[in-house]
Amino acid sequence: MFRLANCRWWALRTPVGLAALVWAACASPHPAGGAQAPASQRTAALTHPLAAMPAAAVALPRVRKAIDAVAAAAHPPLASPLPNSSLRTLRRADLPVLLPDDALWLQPGIATAERDWYALSATADGLTIVVQGDRTALVDPEMVPENWTPPTWHAPLVFRNEAIVHATFLAFGAAYSVAVECADPMGDVRCADDAFVLRVTASLRRLAVAAEVRP
């Protein structure tokens, strides 16, 4: 598991959606007195990341990364069924779609997707989970970390921002993020330590390209 030390480089070298999350964790000071934005606003920011991006980062060149189809095909497939509405939406994404293999999150999940990214947000059992994938990258050649080891599905980078727990990693040429927000972030052990977000990340499975919409 990776921990954030100096993360400005990470924010500038990940895809737009994930970059906003990490940049917020590194560049934004915590509000005075521990005040936080309302939970609805913080959750909305996860699915509308460009609103939180610094102008300097948005101005960097964006590159559409090549996908390693062989590596993606080797990732375990999703076994739990998806609602037809989510399946239709996620078919828009031209990258491997990874989702938690648990009906608790898939059935109430709200999916959004475009050609280069997707997101699934679900609220159940006192918490909200948002899973994102993005195959575009912001390129800043002057900020190359020394001896950088990219986070992986098995060893994601975990951090917290505004009481939301995040795990991010790179796979197949894309970047992925799992965000967990608890209704009671201080009292709910699922947000108080890393075990839950790591368990959700480990449960991510690949949506089969040939997945069919049920009649």
**Residue 144: per-residue pLDDT:** 56
**Residue 39: per-residue pLDDT:** 40
**Residue 176: per-residue pLDDT:** 97
Instruction: Tell me whether residue 212 is in a domain.
Output: no
Helix or strand (DSSP H, E) at 88: helix 84-90
Domain count within the chain: 1
Q: Residue 159 belongs to what domain range?
A: 2-206
**Residue 142: per-residue pLDDT:** 63
The predicted-structure confidence for 12-61, as pLDDT tens digits, reads as follows 334 434 443 343 333 333 333 334 444 443 333 333 344 444 555 556 77
- Give yes or no for a contact between 185 and 166, defined as CB atoms under 8 angstroms apart: no
Percentage of residues in the chain having pLDDT higher than 70: 66
Instruction: Tell me whether residue 189 is in a domain.
Output: yes
Q: How far apart are CA 83 and CA 78, in angstroms?
A: 13
**Residue 101: per-residue pLDDT:** 96
The predicted-structure confidence for 108-134, as pLDDT tens digits, reads as follows 999 999 999 999 999 999 999 999 999
**Amino acid sitting at position 145:** P
Instruction: Tell me whether residue 193 is in a domain.
Output: yes
Instruction: Tell me whether residue 27 is in a domain.
Output: yes
Instruction: Tell me whether residue 52 is in a domain.
Output: yes
Instruction: Tell me whether residue 213 is in a domain.
Output: no
Instruction: Tell me whether residue 198 is in a domain.
Output: yes
**Residue 147: per-residue pLDDT:** 74
Pairing of strands 2-3, 157-161: parallel
Q: What is the pTM of this model?
A: 0.74
The predicted-structure confidence for 138-196, as pLDDT tens digits, reads as follows 766 666 567 778 899 999 999 999 889 999 999 999 999 999 999 998 899 999 999 99
Q: How far apart are CA 20 and CA 14, in angstroms?
A: 9
Instruction: Tell me whether residue 79 is in a domain.
Output: yes
